Structure 1
Amino acid sequence: MIAWVYLGVAVIFEITVALAAGKAKGFTDARWTAATLLSGAIATYFLGLALLTFDVGVGYSIWTSVAGVGIVLLGAVFFNERLSLKKLCGIAMVIGGVIGLHLSGAA
């Protein structure tokens, strides 16, 4: 169960990486650049802890997939990015894939 907590923390910080990188203006804004790098380090650390339990392929796939969905949704909120029907269908497919990985008995 703790592996899921570690993976959840890794996802949150991976989402933070993307949002901070979006604000870093090509890494010309020092504060957002630092936030991007620090968040990336924290995300990777917690992913590593989760991978002590999860199979690498499954854990990494869940991490990137769930973070990707979060980034798309938060991009709509913070960057006024459009959520089209195609994006929503893609999100649904990713969620289905994550459920499938979880049901595979990986952790």
Structure 2
Amino acid sequence: MHWLHLGIAVIFEITVAICADRAKGFTQPSWTVGTLASGAIATYFLSQALLTFDVGVGYAIWTSVAGVGIVIVSALFFGHRLGWRKALGIVAVIGGVVGLQLSGGAA
């Protein structure tokens, strides 16, 4: 169940970034509400996942996977460029996440 909680937290963290970008410095009310609401939901599910994960490992996985997700979503839907350097960075982040998981950070 902890992996499900972490996955939901990642999805809502990606939503936070998208909404925050669209909120334009919190000048767009509906996007601002979306940013705050999705942030609260992401934090709730992260806290549920951290009941099982070591905090350092769980938080690192959450932020890393969400960061990769944001780069991919923005490339697919918002026309941001995904060059070889970003792709190499994504591979490095995924390698780090796998290494953390292999370190035994979750039950």
The TM tier, using the shorter chain, reads over 0.9
Runs of 4+ in 1 over 4 A off after TM superposition: none
> Cα RMSD over matched residues?
0.6
Residue 31 of structure 2 corresponds to which residue in structure 1? 32
Residue 3 of structure 1 corresponds to which residue in structure 2? 2
The 3-state SS of whatever aligns with 2:51 is coil
The gaps in structure 2 that reach 5 residues or longer are none
The gaps in structure 1 that reach 5 residues or longer are none
Residue 49 of structure 1 corresponds to which residue in structure 2? 48
Aligned-partner Cα distance in 1 for 2:48–2:55? 11
The 3-state SS of whatever aligns with 2:92 is helix
Q: Where does 1:1-107 land on structure 2 (aligned, <5 Å)?
A: 2-107=1-106
Q: CA deviation at 1:78?
A: 2.2
CA displacement, residues 29-85 of structure 1 (integer Å, 9 cap, x when unaligned): 100000000000000000000001000000000000000000000011222110011
Q: How many residues of Structure 1 are paired with residues of Structure 2 in the alignment?
A: 106
Query: When the two structures are superposed, what TM-score results if normalisation uses the length of structure 2?
Result: 0.97
Query: When the two structures are superposed, what TM-score results if normalisation uses the length of structure 1?
Result: 0.97
Percent sequence identity over matched residues?
68
Q: CA deviation at 1:106?
A: 1.2
The 3-state SS of whatever aligns with 1:62 is helix
Output the amino acid matched with 1:8: G
| 5-14 or 18-27, which deviates more | 18-27
